[in-house]
Amino acid sequence: MRVLTATLILSFALAPALRAEEVAIAKNASHELAQNGWQIVVKSDIVPGTEKNRAQSFDRVFYCGKLGTGKARAVWEERATGTHFHPLRIAPDGTVIATVYSNKLLVIGPDDLPGKPGDGVAVVLPNQKPMAETVILHASAAGLIVHPNDLNKPVPIYFVPLDGRKPLVEKTVELGTRDASELWRSKTGFQVTDKWIVWDTSAFEVATGKVRKLVAETGTRTLVGIDGDLVVVERRVTEYKMSIHELVPTDLKTGVPTGRYPMQSDSQLVTVHDGIGYVLSPIRLKVGESEQRAEVAAFDLAKPADVLQTKTVAFKGGRYLVPVFSDKGFSIQGEKNSAVEWGVRKKR
């Protein structure tokens, strides 16, 4: 009996660990997120027999893989009308941090099997009411940005440090308050990295636990990107009967703008990468033209007056463009001939 037990233990020890194997990414998979050299895509297939239903059902698989390889592993599988899975961060080793229905935290490591509905754990804040939910808005290597799920009223916003996969709720820090009706997953008003949490005119430095103030300016200000110690603010204002639309890169340590990049009214920031901002500006059609195009200009965030490169790409228009990233650059989802290569900053 002892020999049999030892044999079973040895066989389990030598057995290969269960993990999701990499597969080729389907050509019609949709882009969800790209960070730290990784990307998450989703493949959706309608469930046969639900095509004519008011609420159609889909089999969805979310995949995570290294940019440029064309392969990825499954990290989430579900059959549902709407998705239960919202990826928030991809770590340098491919670990995915996500929030899943209903407002649960799920961490999926490189060697973990795909998650499924019902997985995840709730984040319970100190002195939280029984059965109350905590909404997870953002995640970084340092922690989570959360708020109590109270509708139609101002709610406190908290930073909850992470120790690996464990939220350290006893070390929660309150950052401020927001109207719950303004907090959408696609537009929270926060920019978050492993080093900084930025909102309104405030910046929380994770390493020091200090809140720094940014220079307050008039007009409508929207946080649209963050790179290193620079945050990019989109500013719109009317002064002396003139409309101003500009990007204002701002140093997070000093709170002072590093410069300004003027934009036309329908321009938008596509992304920031390695200290460079990429702005897309639609090109007005001329008489006889039918193909809609746009110009993508790359500029140095630290010196916005320096335009490093421009490229004309296909673009049908719309405010909600989706960039698809690769190891060499990006393109616009659904647009052929829209590839833009990463620029190189000039030596100073």
Residue-wise pLDDT for 278-329, tens only, equals 999 999 888 877 788 999 999 999 999 889 999 999 998 776 788 999 999 9
Query: Do residues 315 and 330 make contact, with C-beta atoms less than 8 angstroms apart?
Result: no
Count of all residues that appear for the chain in the document: 348
Query: Can you tell me the distance from the alpha carbon of 321 to that of 100, in angstroms, rounded to the nearest whole number?
Result: 25
pLDDT at 338 exceeding the cut of 80: yes
What burial class does residue 224 get, using C-beta atoms within 10 Å of its C-beta: 0-12 exposed, 13-18 middle, 19+ buried? middle
Cα of 51 vs its chain's centroid, Å: 31
Query: What SS3 state is found at 163?
Result: strand
Residue, of 202 and 286, whose pLDDT is higher: 202
Q: What is the pLDDT of residue 273?
A: 93
Q: What is the pLDDT of residue 267?
A: 94
DSSP assignment of 209-278 equals TEEEEPPP-SSEEEEEEEETTEEEEEEEEEETTEEEEEEEEEETTT--B---EE--TT-EEEEEETTEEE
Q: What is the pLDDT of residue 142?
A: 94
Query: What SS3 state is found at 105?
Result: strand
Q: What is the pLDDT of residue 5?
A: 39
Q: What is the pLDDT of residue 2?
A: 42
Residue-wise pLDDT for 99-138, tens only, equals 999 899 999 999 999 999 999 999 999 888 877 899 999 9
- Band the pLDDT of 4: cuts 50, 70, 90: very low
pLDDT at 167 exceeding the cut of 50: yes
Question: Within the chain, what is the greatest distance between any pair of CA atoms?
Answer: 91
- Band the pLDDT of 162: cuts 50, 70, 90: very high
Q: What is the pLDDT of residue 348?
A: 62
Q: Per the structure block, which two tokens stand in for 266? A: 């329908």
Average pLDDT score over the chain: 90
Residue-wise pLDDT for 26-72, tens only, equals 989 999 999 999 999 999 999 999 999 999 999 999 999 999 999 99
Residue in the block written with tokens 């950052």 = 175
Query: Do residues 173 and 158 make contact, with C-beta atoms less than 8 angstroms apart?
Result: yes
pLDDT at 1 exceeding the cut of 70: no
Residue-wise pLDDT for 75-88, tens only, equals 999 999 999 999 99
